[in-house]
Structure 1
Amino acid sequence: MRVKINSNDVASVRDLQNDLTKPPCSASGHAFSFRLPAKQTGLMIAMSLAAVLISGSALAQTINVPNPKSDSPDEVAKRKAKRKKDSVGRLDNVREKGATRHSSGSALAQVTTPPAGQFAKFENLRIKGLEVNLPGPADTVVQDKGGVRSALAEIGIGYIAWTQNTYVNNLLSNAAKSTIANQLYSGQNPTFYTLNYMLVTYDLSRYGIPDGQIIVGTEQQAWTWQPGGPDRWGINTIAYYQTFFDRKLELKVGYLMNSYELAGTVVGGNPGANVFGPSSNVLYQGGMNYAPAPTPTLNLTYHFDDRLYNKVSFQRSTSPDGVFAHITANPTGLDWSTANAGILLLDESGYRNSAAPGLPETWLRAGVGFNNSHYTNLAYPTRPRADENSLYYVAADRQLWQNDVRGTASRGIYGGFSVMGAPPDLNKVSQYYEVRLYAKGLFDSRPSDQISLVATDTVWSNFAVDAAAAKGNLVHRDAKAISGTYTAHLGPGIYTSVGLTYIDHPTSITYTPQIGHALNFSASTSIFF
């Protein structure tokens, strides 16, 4: 689950959290000025690829459009009547599935038909407003054993709980093993961590509030390597959700974890099936909140239609000194703010559709963020803290092949990419690139397993690199990694993943010859209740 953060992309992200003193600002002091890194080639390429995907989808949908000029008047009239009937049917179908669209699921893992039988009654109690696809009650260990879930549902209460336990270890013989106190990255020594979640919902639609819901959740985590965490127990969500204008507009407000609600950083959309999905630290150094570090947030999502949307988020930024500093200062998550933290404004626009027979799944999204927190400027570290950090991201995922068109259309092979960036004078990570290839249900005998292959490149700030080199350190300007993961769905609510990740320079910026490379073996189990 990413929100963890997906720490197995691996070491470079976790190692980075401890020393992200980075998010500086320009000395101009103007709030919310947006500045992109000097090199924008990656962004231009990403946007071009996204445009190709969009045009390809549009072309595919228009190939078989009939030519009215070649049809008789009777044929035209029949076709208009059929279109009217179909549109009414589609509208009814959309309204029936509206709760599912707004409850749990990215478009790349979204349920396209309502669950059958006893579990259908729980759909309206699933957490609403998320982009990730948390398993429904049918895909949990307890399901409705003893009728407990049904009894709670009768009074409007739903819940989901899960535990994720992960082990990481560098297999290379020259890993320069050290004491845990001197460990520099996840896996340098055998590293173990546990993440445990519990979220409860209360249905307000019974009182006439459209899709109304209250969500309260808690998160506990423990790490053998504290910079990866650190240990904490506290809230992860206290939220109110409802819709307006026939579900055109969604509102969610409270203490939120935006890493589950923006950017779509979990490969495939399901954290249980993607515990090693890589994540760029660009979002977190820019102030985005997540499960161990929730902050007061207002999210507004407008749906132009069933595919096009725009989401605006106003959130209290996490600490500009990094995730570790934020959690250490505010472990329970209940504090209104932390030192030097201001407001982060995020805006994401996207296009996404679920898989259907002959219609591949597609999700395109792009976002920008502006943060007026007080960051240290890496170009002028002795100056007083400045303001005005920013970030951007572009990402796309596309189903390339459907291997069960008449059954489960979402099964098949997918491809995707992400490009992220932030000003190098304000952020230790200035650019991030990711390319991914993954398959869902590739084998008929294992229809809910997933395989992923992901390559990443994390580019460090040239100001931070030059400053480290001036002190006589060995430095590197980027960290490349490639990871392969197989996730097996062993039974209702039980996922186990094993993976290998090769990392060129697993530490951030400075290194020694003995720790220049890592081959991390990862094993993780997620159990949902």
Structure 2
Amino acid sequence: MTNASRPGATVHFALRLAAPVLGTTIAASAWAPLAHADDSIAQAAKTTDCAMYDKYRLRGSETAIITTCDTLSPDLGGLRKSMINSGWLVQNYSSVTESYDLNHADRDVPQTYSGQRPTFQANTNFTITYDLSRVGFFGQNAQFGAQVTWNQNSYLGNGLRGAFVNQLSIEQEFANSRVRLEYGFYSIGAKFYGAVLGTSTAASALGPTSGLMYEAGVVTGGFKPTPALDLRLYSPSQRFYNHFGMARSTSPRGFQYDSQQNPTGLSLTVPGAKVLYIDEVGYRVMPKPDQFASWIRAGGVYNTSDYMNYKVGRPTVSNHMVYVAYTQQYTQPDPSYPVRGLYTDIKLDEAPSSRNVYDKDVLFSLYSIGPFKARPYDMATFGYQYKWISPWTRLALAHATGLQPIDNSQTYTLSYAFHVIRGLYFNNSLSYTNHPVLVPQHPATLVWMSTLYFSF
């Protein structure tokens, strides 16, 4: 069987949807009067110095690392304050996930998607940063960042197993943060596109390897990093920007081979993986009282690696993809907490049909941050995803197997992230996928996924 569905591989990003996307505004609004049943994050900001720690969080990702005010121990018994005084910050966030197909689970055949059998996944990330502005050589606004990750998956098609260095990089900012440069080892896909916003729950039904960004060789979360460099240039208002990056591609032979050739996460080279280039232009408005969030961007990837060309039946040089994405906030029920409200996120992607299994897709999400007044840190999401299967891929699969492959795959997802206590979220999602496997054709799946996220 050829897999088209790996629900668990991106689920650990859900916490970044439910809370860290709020992180850039929590600190700013923490002292505002809040009459919420769940005001634990704001209370932590009042009773500790956690809001001041956030400027030392790992930078560079389009979605901020979780605020220290939303951890099980914001002050870590005084350790964080002591480390901050020396320029250091440590954080940890972890998740445990179980998924199961309620519609057509089958333990008697080899597993081809997450949930076909009860599927377990665990992930923990330890992050440390240092304020390089204290050194002087790197400028007045610079940061060293490192992250070590440990993953465990009961199904190898769902992701990696073991520990590795997930990030080792330096980020420097100049001209009042209008010029931002980062270089080192990291997942460059986290810096572009806004992959985590809104559609991560919907996309999880098919897994990260079905994403066109991943197909083009851009490393995304959950996989091992590559050597990379990216440069952001902002307008004086910091709303308009151009973002350029270059990195080693992931291996065209797949993430498991890439991982075998890059055991620590710090390998400069991997056989067959060459340099790729990515550029994105956009306009972004951050949420403020009486100002809705809005973000429109478009970009493209060009990969110089050799990829299998299904049209001619052999590898040929290069691969690429293009995308357009738009995220918009529509409501703001609490101006003192401006990130709260109703949003939509839509993404359109296209890649060459001769070199990619999926050559087009549309991803749409409707999501609400703080859907109820008493639940300001919860998040409810409806996601829809439609993927087109390349006609050249279908011909190649039909020739190789003698079976008729699918021509599309659709996923509908409902998800709710519940803020249990400060630093602890419980996310449950239900995803229906009409075609979870490329070939042979497989009955529709209804995968229930439960994930517990906790952070220190």
For Structure 1 versus Structure 2, the TM-score category normalised by the shorter chain is: 0.7 to 0.9
Distance 1:353 1:187, change over 3 A: same
Counterpart-to-counterpart distance in 2, 1:275 and 1:445? 29
Instruction: Choose from 326, 329, 338 the match for 2:261.
Output: 329
Deviation at 1:358, TM superposition (A): 2.5
Q: Distance in 1 between matches of 2:242 and 2:419?
A: 33
Displacement after TM superposition at 1:411 (Å) = 1.3
**Alignment equivalent of 2:382, drawn from 429, 450, 453:** 453
Residue 206 of structure 1: how far off its partner (Å): 1.9
2:105 maps to what in 1?
175
Structure-to-structure mapping, 1:83-102, within 5 angstroms: none
2:363 is the counterpart of 1:434? yes
CA contact (8 A) 1:105 1:131 kept: no
Q: Is the 1:275–1:524 Cα contact (8 Å) retained in structure 2?
A: no
Residue matched to 2:24? 110
Distance, in Å, in 2 between the alignment partners of 1:230 and 1:247 is 35
Q: Using the alignment, how far apart are the partners of 1:268 and 1:474 within structure 2?
A: 33
Q: Where in structure 1 are there 5+ consecutive unaligned residues? A: 1-10, 18-103
CA 1:485–1:276: 2 relative to 1, 3 Å: farther
What are the superposed Cα offsets for residues 338-386 of structure 1, whole Å, 9 maximum, x if unpaired? Answer: 11111110001111112223321111111100000121211122x3x32
The letter for the 2-side match of 1:396 is Y
Larger Rg: 1
Q: CA RMSD in A?
A: 2.4
**What residue number does 2:77 align with?**
146
Matched with 1:257 is 187
Do structure 1's residue 517 and structure 2's residue 444 form an aligned pair? Answer: yes
More helix by share: 1
User: For the structure 1 residues 15 and 442, does the alpha-carbon distance in structure 2 shift closer, same or farther, using more than 3 Å as the test?
Assistant: closer
Instruction: Name the structure 2 match of 1:527.
Output: 454
Query: Residues 239 and 225 from structure 1, CA distance in 2 versus in 1: closer, same or farther, beyond 3 angstroms?
Result: same
The letter of the residue matching 2:262 is N
1:361 matches 2:307: no
TM-score by length of 1: 0.75
TM-score by length of 2: 0.87
Task: State the alpha-carbon separation in 2 of the partners of residues 524 and 176 from structure 1.
Answer: 22
> Larger RCO: Structure 1 or Structure 2 (Cα < 8 Å, ≥ 6 residues apart)?
1
Query: Following superposition of structure 1 onto structure 2, how do residues 109-128 of structure 1 map, counting pairs within 5 Å?
Result: 110-111=24-25, 114=28, 118-128=49-59
2:214 aligned with 1:284 = yes
1:360-399, aligned counterparts within 5 Å? 360-381=292-313, 383=314, 385-399=315-329
> Given the superposition, is the C-alpha separation of residues 235 and 528 from structure 1 closer, same or farther in structure 2, using an over 3 Å criterion?
same
Q: Is residue 133 from structure 1 mapped to residue 133 from structure 2 by the alignment?
A: no
1:387-426 paired onto structure 2 within 5 Å? 387-405=317-335, 407-426=336-355
CA distance in 2, matches of 1:230, 1:282: 20
For the 8 Å contact 1:285–1:323, the answer to whether it is kept is no
Match of 2:414, SS? strand
Contact between 1:342 and 1:373, CA under 8 Å: does it hold in 2?
yes
With 208-217 and 466-475 compared, the bigger mean Cα shift is at 466-475
- 1:15 CA displacement: 8.7
Choose from 116, 139, 152 the match for 1:188.
116
Equivalent residue number for residue 88 of structure 1: none
Shift of 1:112: 7.0
Contact 2:348/2:361, CA 8 A, preserved across alignment: yes
Pair 387,15 (structure 1): closer, same or farther in 2 beyond 3 Å: farther
Task: Supply the distance in 2 between the matched residues of 1:203 and 1:228 (Cα, whole angstroms).
Answer: 36
Counting strand residues as a fraction of each chain, which structure ranks higher? 2
Match for 2:392 among 458, 463, 468?
A: 463
Mapped to 2, the partners of 1:520 and 1:164 lie a distance apart of 18
Work out whether residues 295 and 336 of structure 1, in 8 Å CA contact, stay in contact via their aligned partners in 2. yes
Alpha-carbon distance change, 309 to 252 in structure 1, aligned in 2, over 3 angstroms? same
1:208-258 CA distance string (max 9 Å, x none): 322211111111111111111131311100001111122110010000112
Amino acid paired to 2:115: G
* Residues 1:351 and 2:279 are matched in the alignment: no
Q: Which runs of 5+ in 2 are unaligned?
A: 10-18, 31-44
- On the 8 A contact 1:397/1:415 being kept in 2, the answer is yes
Instruction: Give the 5 Å matches for 1:11-160.
Output: 12-14=4-6, 110-111=24-25, 114=28, 118-160=49-91
One-letter code aligned to 1:450:
M
Give the CA deviation at 1:16: 13
Match of 2:16 in 1: none
Map Cα deviations across residues 383-441 of structure 1 (whole Å, 9 max, x no partner).
3x321210111111101222223x21221111121111110111111111111101011
Residue identity opposite 1:232 in structure 2: G
- Paired position in structure 2 for 1:235: 165
Distance 1:110 1:155, change over 3 A: closer
Deviations 1:21-57 (A, max 9, x none): xxxxxxxxxxxxxxxxxxxxxxxxxxxxxxxxxxxxx
In 2: Cα distance, 1:374 partner to 1:171 partner: 40
Partner of 1:45: none
Change over 3 Å in CA distance of 1:259–1:493 after alignment to 2:
farther
Identity %: 27
Aligned length: 421
CA-CA distance at 1:105 after TM superposition: 6.9
Residue 478 (structure 1) shift: 0.9
For residues 288 and 168 of structure 1, do their structure 2 counterparts lie closer, same or farther at Cα, with a shift above 3 Å needed?
same
Per-residue CA shift, 1:174-217, capped at 9, x if unaligned?
A: 433335xx101111111111111111101111233222111111
- Cα deviation 1:118-169 (Å, max 9, x = unaligned): 1233133111111112211111112103201111111111121111111110
